[in-house]
Amino acid sequence: MIMDLYWIWFNQLKGISFSTKRKMLDVFKTPKQIYELDLAELIAFDIEKSIFVDNFSCESLDLAKHIEYLHERLQIKMITPENDNFISGERLVYFYKGELFKGSSCAVVGTRQCSAYGIYYTKKVCEELTDSDICINSGLARGIDKCAHQTALNSSKGKTQAFIATGLDLCYPREHSKLMSEIIEHGAVISPFAAGVMPLKYNFVIRNALMSQLSDKVVVTEAPAKSGSLLTASFAQKHGRPVYVVNPQSNSALCAGNRFLLKNGAKEYIFKTQNVNSHFANLKDNIIINAIEFSDLSTDEIREKTNISFDALEPALLNLEYDHLICYKGHGKWHYNGW
């Protein structure tokens, strides 16, 4: 474990850029060798004396030792460039719980504030990918990410990996703690951050970069103009990963990012399943969705508003729920998974 300690220390170093750390490793090979350098040997890397004093001492290992202790207790594992399965990118190390998938993987991403159509297409994309033994990577967020993970978990052969913007001792958002546990049991949860790191805004950018680094391709199912999914796509293009986009069937603002990506080099995701878009067209005219689009309704209220018989309404509601288009809330009413 001694080498893990020095990798944790090196990863936590403040005031030294990623590119400088890479150059240091090219010369000195291991973090332990770098830790044992004196200030004179670090001058070539423009390391200031204050940074040396703050970071290259016995006391500076205390934080790394504490993190190492937490990781051992929480069964958090670490990947470094010394591991055979390390994939080079913009992170020196990354951490995980569970078991990393060794085959092909695809990041399926989109907006938190998704529509029922976005959920429908996400489900169809993930079903096709899992049928081809491709692991579903996503960000454990609300909306599209949650749908992507759950679709993979619902498949008998599906595998999924969640990328998070905190340490692996936390779950964000909190309501996904059960989902996170299920993913750890059937796949892996991966983070660029050591235990104790909180969900700061810029951490999500770093999370997205790592997700694109560790995915063979990226599929964007529904994204507005200002979406983190576009960042994931841009990182993927930088890393040489192909980016695919579901071609939006409407002019919704929730798909502005889809249209932007398709105009700027991304490829359209072509469904293997026939009549996917015809189902979408029928969805527009679904009177149940139209009834609850803007307000939650009970089963009796839906029946009164739509004039559908109870015998026909009950299976229709269950089918829409199965497709993640609607859900039954704790207050006894049906909710449209849209805006």
Q: Among 164, 102, 161, 154, which Cα is nearest to 124's?
A: 154
pLDDT value at residue 274: 62
Q: What is the rounded distance in angstroms from the CA atom of residue 231 to the CA atom of residue 267?
A: 16
pLDDT value at residue 339: 42
The H or E element containing residue 335 is strand 334-336
CB atoms within 10 A of CB 262: 19
CA torsion 114-116-118-122 (nearest 10°) is 120
Structure tokens given for 259: 């249209």
Parallel/antiparallel/unpaired status of strands 267-268 and 243-245: parallel
**In sequence order, what DSSP letters do the residues of 124-152 get, joined into one string?**
HHHHHHHHTT-EEEE---TTHHHHHHHHH
Question: Strand, coil or helix: what is 37?
Answer: coil
Q: Among 217, 214, 238, which Cα is nearest to 102's?
A: 214
First-to-last CA distance in the chain? Answer: 48
Non-local CB neighbours of 171 within 8 Å, separated by 6+ positions: 140, 164, 177, 180
pLDDT value at residue 8: 95
How does pLDDT run along the chain (339 residues), one tens digit per residue? 456 899 999 998 888 999 999 999 999 989 999 999 998 888 889 888 998 988 888 888 899 999 999 999 999 999 999 998 888 888 899 999 999 999 999 999 999 988 878 888 999 999 999 999 999 999 999 999 999 999 999 998 899 999 999 999 999 999 999 999 999 999 999 999 999 999 999 999 999 999 999 999 999 999 999 999 999 999 999 999 999 999 986 678 889 999 999 999 999 999 987 666 555 555 555 788 888 877 899 999 999 988 888 888 888 888 888 767 788 887 889 988 764
Tell me the whole-structure pTM to 2 decimals: 0.83
The burial class, CB within 10 Å (0-12 / 13-18 / 19+), for 253 is exposed
The dihedral built from the CA positions of residue 256, 245, 290 and 292, taken in this order, carries a sign that is: negative
Structure tokens given for 240: 């040489």
